[in-house]
Amino acid sequence: MPSSPTTSSPSRPRWRVMKFGGSSVADARNWPRIGAEAANVLASGGNALIVVSALGGITDLLESCLRAPDQFDPDTTLAEIRRRHAVLAGAVEADAGILEPLFDALREALVRVQSTNNASEAATCQSPELWAELMGFGELLSSRLGEHILRSQGLECDWLDSRELLVCSDNPQRSERAARLSAECEVAPSPDVQARLAARGRLFIAPGFIARNAAGETVLLGRGGSDISAALIGTLLDADRVEIFSDVPGLFSADPRRIPSARLLRTISYREALELAAMGARALHPRALLPLRKHRVPLWLRQTSRPEIEGTRITAEAHEHGAQVKAIVARKNITLIALEGIDMWQQVGFMADVFAVFRDHGLSVDLVSTSESNVTLTLDPGANLADQATLDRLAADLGR
């Protein structure tokens, strides 16, 4: 029998990966839509894997405990997190009681964070292990509750621990903290993983943001990292596409809140999307694009509450039309460094010397503009954890 492109045989399942962000999963009205998207994939013969963020605000709340371990009370924090999940569960008529074992473990972790406060002078919790463990709870809770909600809709959905799929490599050049809290993961399409998963079921829901290291310990993919989880899993499963659902339909030619006439970009290349995401478009984490581009997995951006809008499609087939302004993005809180009154005219190697100073201070430069008498550079605060002291030392070295 000739195989049609819309059905998958058990040996070669066709996977779709769909990621729903924190504000999407926190809104009860979206769960029937999430269920419907999954049901559509199943009805067309495909398999689906849903990746979820924590309910909006939960990761921030957990982070605030780690940043000020002497200023929170474990029971008050737990009560707030419990309340947020109970509100969602109540609104979809699900029972949040299934989360109790996780709440117990969360309380225990909160108590440990609080007690690190006595052990050290520092204001922030110093243990990267505890950071990773505590911050990961938001996604464990949302994905477990999501499994329960989708099952109550009659879908045969199983929870999947993304730490089973995503194993991060240990890069000895990175700090222990970076390796734990913004871990890097290399993946390639794996027929083995695809077949193993297909043998277990056709619909899964998995926590975003968390992965494991070679020792099997929990690590994080960095703030906003659930997009990266979806991209990595989509690559492993060689998905027909990855879809990232959020409260905006995609990438725009400008920020629509500032420029009402901004247009939604319908199709765009990986390279253009990477540039926009890295320079401030918030619909997408830039690092999510790297594995997708490398393995040519398409990425569609869509709006959860308005699934009828086509959104933005990022594919290898998208044409770049030569020199053209496709979009304008703006970023706030960047550090700008201007070297004034220099005389570069016909000098050789001046820029090499300037960049060597940035390299020596471990600072990554984003944008550069130069003329014969001025060099202006920007530093990305996300990539550079530069405090005032580092900047002062940099300025002194540049002054030379």
Q: How far is the CB of 188 from ligand ASP (least distance, A)?
A: 23
Q: How far is the CB of 333 from Mg ion (least distance, A)?
A: 18
Could you say which of Mg ion, ligand ASP, none residue 209 binds, taking C-beta under 5 to 8 angstroms by partner kind?
ligand ASP
Binding string to Mg ion for residues 98 to 117, with x set by CB under 5 A, is what?
A: --------------------
For 273, 326, 328, the CA distances from 323, given in Å and listed in that order, are 16, 9, 14
User: Strand, helix or coil at 216?
Assistant: coil
Q: How far is the CB of 209 from ligand ASP (least distance, A)?
A: 4
Name which of 103 and 245 has its Cβ closer to Mg ion: 245
Residues binding ligand ASP: what is the number (CB under 6 A)?
Answer: 12
User: Strand, helix or coil at 301?
Assistant: strand
Residue 181: how many CB atoms within 10 A of its CB?
18
Residues 31-70 that bind ligand ASP (CB under 6 A): 53-54, 59
Residues 333-352 that bind ligand ASP (CB under 6 A): none
Residues 131-150 that bind ligand ASP (CB under 6 A): 138
Residues 171-230 that bind ligand ASP (CB under 6 A): 208-209, 223-227
Q: What is the rounded distance in angstroms from the CA atom of residue 62 to the CA atom of residue 74?
A: 10
Name which of 127 and 229 has its Cβ closer to Mg ion: 229
H runs (alpha helix) in the chain: 22-26, 31-43, 58-67, 74-91, 100-119, 128-135, 137-152, 162-165, 176-181, 191-200, 226-236, 270-278, 289-295, 350-360, 388-399
Could you say which of ligand ASP, Mg ion, none residue 208 binds, taking C-beta under 5 to 8 angstroms by partner kind?
ligand ASP
Q: What is the rounded distance in angstroms from the CA atom of residue 67 to the CA atom of residue 70?
A: 9
Q: What is the rounded distance in angstroms from the CA atom of residue 18 to the CA atom of residue 242?
A: 6
Q: How far is the CB of 197 from ligand ASP (least distance, A)?
A: 22
Residue 1: how many CB atoms within 10 A of its CB?
3
Residues 216-255 that bind Mg ion (CB under 5 A): 224
Look at residues 349, 380, 249, 378 and name the one whose alpha carbon lies nearest to residue 302. Answer: 249
Name which of 138 and 311 has its Cβ closer to ligand ASP: 138
Q: Is-contact 251 268, C-beta < 8 A?
A: yes
Using CB under 6 A, list all residues that contact ligand ASP.
22, 53-54, 59, 138, 208-209, 223-227
Using CB under 5 A, list all residues that contact Mg ion.
224
